[in-house]
Amino acid sequence: MTSTEAAPVLVRPGHRDAQRIFRAVLDALARPGTTTHLPAPAGVPAALVPLLALADLDTPVCVLDATTADSEQWLRAVMTATSAPGSVLGEARLVAALRPITVDELRAVRVGSPADPEEAALVAFAVSALTGGPVVRLEGPGVAPGAVITPAGLPVGWLDVRAAVTYPAGADLLLVDSDGACVGLPRSTRTNEGS
């Protein structure tokens, strides 16, 4: 989408599709490192799908795209489809990054607090692929022994940003490729680089 195009018309997923999306997100977060699939309607970026299924009147949303105009167009489309309020990155409960996210943006994401960890954001962001990048070892609840992921297209230093926030605070992350394949990294999952 270019900045000269009108905001796309998005239709909120039907009940069955919304349930499938919710289930895929839940599975990804319950079994970190395991790939699930987000069913994306034609023409909708896969990283935007969780917002369409999970947003509501009380859930501030934010969309990050290649340009400010593109971000605003996708945000308006999500707000129209879900009735969710738009928000700046640091206040959003649901975030979709439709292009590579930066370390500074990850630092700005809402992480909740030890007293209110549920106030943290769920961030779905596009990666170029779920394989082919540096090895990241996973540990924590729901993680299979020896689990690793190798996502490509993440900014240098993203693991340091995650490590700087101590559980139970921290954002839940969904790494999503263009086909809707998705890996979840809930705030309870510890991540370390290495083979």
**CATH numbers and ranges of domains, the chain:** 15-188 (3.40.50.11310)
**Average per-residue pLDDT for the chain:** 90
What is the pLDDT, as a whole number, of residue 12? 63
Across the range 1-19, mean pLDDT stands at 62
The number of angstroms, rounded, from the C-alpha of 62 to the middle of its chain's C-alpha atoms is 11
pLDDT of 180 > 60? The answer is: yes
Q: Could you give the percent of the chain with pLDDT greater than 70?
A: 92
**Would you call 56 helix, strand, or coil by DSSP?**
coil
Question: Please, which pLDDT band fits residue 2 given cuts at 50, 70 and 90?
Answer: very low
Choose among 128, 111, 117: nearest CA to 163: 111
pLDDT of 106 > 90? The answer is: yes
Across the range 98-103, mean pLDDT stands at 93
pLDDT of 57 > 70? The answer is: yes
The 10 Å Cβ neighbour count of residue 159 is 16
Question: Please, which pLDDT band fits residue 8 given cuts at 50, 70 and 90?
Answer: low
pLDDT per residue over 140-175, tens digit each?
999 999 999 999 999 999 999 998 988 999 999 999
Question: Please, which pLDDT band fits residue 13 given cuts at 50, 70 and 90?
Answer: low
Pairing of strands 181-185, 172-176: antiparallel
User: Is there a contact between 127 and 153 (Cβ–Cβ < 8 Å)?
Assistant: yes
Record the pTM. Answer: 0.91
Q: Where are the alpha helices (DSSP H) in 15-67?
A: 15-30, 49-54
Residues linked to residue 148 through DSSP beta bridges, in sequence order: 137
Q: How far apart are CA 71 and CA 138, in angstroms?
A: 32
